[in-house]
Amino acid sequence: MADGKILPAAFDVEAANQRLAAMTAPERIGWALEHLPEAHIISTSFGIQAAVSLHLLTRQRPDIPVVFIDTGYLFPETYRFADELTERLSLNLKVYRPDISSAWLEARFGKLWDEGTDGLDRYNRLSKLEPMQHALEELQVATWFSGLRRQQSKSRAATPFLRFQQGRYRVYPIADWNNRDVWRYLKANDLPYHPLFEQGYVSVGDVQTTRPLEPGMAEEDTRFFGLQRECGLHTSL
């Protein structure tokens, strides 16, 4: 793999992952910003550990677009957390929403999340995937950063540092971080967890599909009633 700018068509993702494995998270971000094509974005749900990736990215690219999908069903604490981090980190926030409001969605389709995996898939497509696809197209995204970690769930256990998926590069700079790494970074940089962390939440999405962690539960059981872990943003798109 050459050291200079690398054209997507000639990019060796497997070799890049080997190289990235020996780097720190900030080094991975610097490498990706230098070598991977524009436009770059980072997506966030303003979840439990959101401050880590947002801080890491904006230290090197302060104006990077931060894409946030507002489903209309987020916790009040999430909206306030989004406001707090946006102001504190001077985020270039780009908010995208479904084509119809949450009230209209329920009037038209009912409570899709109560209809098993098929209903959840349809709900996630309408409220999350379609707005994200709109963001990717409108911003002409070629490189997409996000904060997935292998420790978060079985479905993320094999997350690489870099993948090429559906015509875009996906970069996961903290894929190998564990929960203690997250805590150390937040503490060292005086950054907060999501407010609901103190109430036992280890992952935060929509109000109706998120539960706090209880004894005997795996972390992935706290989302989507334990039926699935992923909404599709990091698998379908």
Give the pLDDT of the chain (237 residues) as one tens digit per residue: 334 444 454 468 999 999 999 999 999 999 999 999 999 999 999 999 999 999 999 999 999 999 999 999 999 999 999 999 999 999 999 999 999 999 999 999 999 989 988 988 999 999 999 999 999 999 999 999 999 888 776 767 888 999 998 889 999 999 999 999 999 999 999 999 999 999 999 889 999 989 898 888 887 788 777 665 556 566 656
Which pLDDT does position 237 carry in this prediction?
Answer: 62
CA 94 from centroid of its chain's CA atoms: 14
Q: For residues 174 and 157, what is the distance between their CA atoms, to the nearest angstrom?
A: 13
Residue tagged active-site, from 20, 41, 69, 231: 231
Fold of domain 8-226 = Rossmann fold (3.40.50)
Q: Are 73 and 207 within 8 A, CB to CB?
A: yes
Task: Look up 231 and say whether it is catalytic.
Answer: yes
